[in-house]
């Protein structure tokens, strides 16, 4: 090889080396670029993931909030309905309370006046010829005054203004007395039967318990339409209440748990429609042409004062049942 030839070869070699180096640099630059790109993409995807997580969290919060709002709205609606019902009941309770106060106030004065009338009629009747016309007048005055006194006592019983004698009462004896007293005035088409159990004594006022039984039996007999065979059954028994009752539905009064003697008056009469049943304990509510509407009001007043209860069941055309609960006598304590 010549000197020039040799140097030419070296020059070629150098040129190739330079070219290779150039390629290498380019490749390196590309690699750097690719790395940078990859890093940028990784960052972007990490950011996207964070954003996605955040969005998801927002969605969860929004869903929970929406649920809470639905619940609040439901609660508000339920409260409104409940409140409207309470307001209705409160209004009804206030009306009955006002009636009680009114009735009680007048009844007391009435009672005093009637006592005076009866006293003078009694004294007058002693000063006239027995069997004379004047004697008849006095008798008529006395009879009307007694009737008025009876109504007045019903009113006072409703208003809780009667004094209560707390003594032992035998319900069965009271039932027998009532049936005996009513025997003459119960219409012929109505048959009154009693089914009396052996009972513990109850705690109460005998006169007022008598009034309860009488009012219930009279109503039961009156509920049997003329021209049909009516039957009134008066049944006594005992019942142990394991749990207190709230005074809703068929239970007219709230009643504590405990031992009770019961008195049930069942009739085969006309029964009651729900809208009648809703009002029967209101004083002066009556569906009878000459009714005073004080019988059941008095029953409720007396039972309230005695810590007693009452359960009523009735259906139009299928008769009625009024079941009274009176606390068993536990001694004077």
List of residues contacting Mg ion (CB under 5 A): 219, 295
- Is residue 272 part of the contact set for ligand ADP (CB under 6 A)? yes
C-alpha closest to that of 223 among 178, 158, 271: 271
d(C-alpha 76, C-alpha 98), whole Å? 32
* Of 236 and 320, CB closest to ligand ADP: 320
DSSP category for residue 128: S
Shortest CB 316 distance to ligand ADP, Å: 9
When CB distances to ligand ADP are compared, the closest residue is: 295
* Of 295 and 309, CB closest to Mg ion: 295
d(C-alpha 213, C-alpha 56), whole Å? 73
d(C-alpha 100, C-alpha 103), whole Å? 5
When CB distances to Mg ion are compared, the closest residue is: 295
Choosing from 320, 323, 324, 327, the residue that interacts with ligand ADP (CB under 6 A) is 320
- Is residue 199 part of the contact set for ligand ADP (CB under 6 A)? no
Which of ligand ADP, Mg ion, none interacts with 321 (beta carbon under 5 to 8 A by kind)? none
Residues in binding contact with ligand ADP, number by CB under 6 A: 23
Residue 277 corresponds to which tokens in the numbers above? 């049943």
Radius of gyration, alpha carbons of the chain: 47
* Of 161 and 219, CB closest to Mg ion: 219
Q: Residue for token digits 């079941």? A: 323
Binding range to ligand ADP, per CB under 6 A, among 38-46, 60-68, 96-104, 294-302: 294-302
Choosing from 286, 305, 313, 328, the residue that interacts with ligand ADP (CB under 6 A) is 286
- Is residue 99 part of the contact set for ligand ADP (CB under 6 A)? no
* Of 114 and 157, CB closest to ligand ADP: 157
CA 16 to the chain's CA centroid: 107
Which of ligand ADP, Mg ion, none interacts with 251 (beta carbon under 5 to 8 A by kind)? none
Per-residue HEC secondary structure of 184-214 comes to CCCCCCEEEEEECCCCCCEEECHHHHHHHHH
C-alpha closest to that of 254 among 164, 325, 333, 206: 325
- Is residue 249 part of the contact set for ligand ADP (CB under 6 A)? no
Residue 65 corresponds to which tokens in the numbers above? 């909030």
Contacts of 203 (CB under 8 A, 6+ apart): 166, 167, 168, 169, 306, 326, 327, 328, 329, 330
Shortest CB 211 distance to ligand ADP, Å: 11
Which of ligand ADP, Mg ion, none interacts with 308 (beta carbon under 5 to 8 A by kind)? none
Binding range to ligand ADP, per CB under 6 A, among 58-66, 141-149, 206-214, 288-296: 288-296
* Of 271 and 308, CB closest to ligand ADP: 271
Pattern 206-235, binding to ligand ADP, x per CB under 6 A? Answer: ---------x---xx--x------------
E strand or H helix at 320 = strand 320-327
Cβ–Cβ < 8 Å for 205, 167: yes
Query: Percent helix, strand, coil in the chain (nearest 5)?
Result: 60, 15, 25
Choosing from 103, 171, 178, 296, the residue that interacts with ligand ADP (CB under 6 A) is 296
- Is residue 288 part of the contact set for ligand ADP (CB under 6 A)? yes
C-alpha closest to that of 153 among 2, 314, 332, 299: 299
Task: Catalog residues that contact ligand ADP under the rule CB under 6 A.
Answer: 215, 219-220, 223, 267, 269-272, 276, 280, 285-288, 291-297, 320
């Amino acid at each position: 090889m010549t000197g020039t030839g040799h140097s030419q070869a070296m020059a070629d070699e150098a040129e190739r080396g330079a070219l290779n180096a150039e390629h290498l640099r380019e490749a390196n630059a590309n690699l750097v670029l690719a790395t940078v790109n990859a890093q940028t993409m990784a960052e972007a995807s990490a950011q996207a993931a964070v954003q996605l997580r955040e969005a998801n969290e927002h969605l969860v919060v929004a869903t929970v909030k929406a649920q809470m709002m639905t619940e609040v709205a439901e609660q508000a609606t339920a409260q409104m309905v409940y409140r409207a019902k309470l307001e209705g009941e409160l209004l009804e309770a206030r009306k009955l309370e006002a009636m009680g106060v009114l009735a009680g106030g007048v009844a007391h004065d009435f009672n005093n006046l009637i006592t005076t009338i009866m006293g003078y009629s009694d004294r007058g009747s002693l000063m006239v010829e027995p069997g004379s016309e004047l004697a008849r007048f006095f008798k008529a005055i006395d009879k009307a005054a007694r009737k008025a006194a009876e109504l007045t006592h019903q009113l006072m019983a409703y208003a809780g203004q009667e004094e209560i004698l707390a003594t032992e009462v035998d319900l069965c004896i009271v039932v027998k007395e009532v049936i005996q007293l009513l025997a003459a005035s119960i219409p012929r088409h109505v048959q009154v039967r009693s089914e009396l159990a052996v009972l513990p004594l109850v705690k109460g006022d005998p006169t007022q318990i008598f009034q309860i039984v009488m009012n219930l039996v009279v109503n039961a007999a009156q509920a049997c339409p003329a021209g049909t065979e009516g039957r009134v059954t008066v049944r006594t028994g005992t019942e142990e209440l394991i749990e207190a009752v709230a005074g809703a539905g068929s239970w007219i009064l709230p009643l504590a748990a405990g031992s009770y003697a019961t008195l049930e008056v069942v009739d085969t009469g006309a029964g009651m429609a729900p809208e009648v049943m809703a009002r029967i304990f209101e004083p002066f509510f009556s569906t009878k042409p000459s009714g005073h509407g004080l019988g059941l009001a008095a029953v409720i007043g007396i039972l309230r004062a005695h810590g007693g209860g009452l359960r009523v069941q009735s259906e139009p055309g299928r008769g009625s049942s009024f079941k009274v609960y009176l606390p068993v006598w536990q001694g004077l304590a």
